[in-house]
Amino acid sequence: MSSVFTKIINREIPSDIVYEQDNLIVIRDINPIAKTHLLIIPKKEIVTVDDIDEQDRDLIADMFFTAKKVASNLGITWAYQLHFNVWKEWWQEVMHIHMHLTSNK
């Protein structure tokens, strides 16, 4: 079954897309906890960080480089946080890995 993020990637559900490249999409969180709250989402469905394989190494690195690029594009060059929630069905609401980028800037 496709995750809500896959449906966003496939344009089945609307979202505020901030940035997109071949393997990633960046959207605004619909329930932000900070002035800026973005989600960096791989287009490949991976359930949780515990499910990352060696073959996903470049994809995960791209998530960090994309976070840096998007933050810079928004004028946020410091004072931001990056994090993954990794606790199946308790912390991680959508079972498709995603990195949060939050800032009060």
Q: What pTM was estimated for this model as a whole? A: 0.92
Domain boundaries, the chain: 4-103
pLDDT at 94: 75
Burial class (CB in 10 A: 0-12, 13-18, 19+), 96: buried
Confidence of residue 17 (pLDDT cuts 50, 70, 90): very high
Q: In what order do the strands lie in the sheet with 24-28?
A: 17-21, 24-28, 36-42, 99-103, 81-83
Please tell me the class of the 4-103 domain. Answer: alpha beta
Active site residues: 98
pLDDT at 90: 58
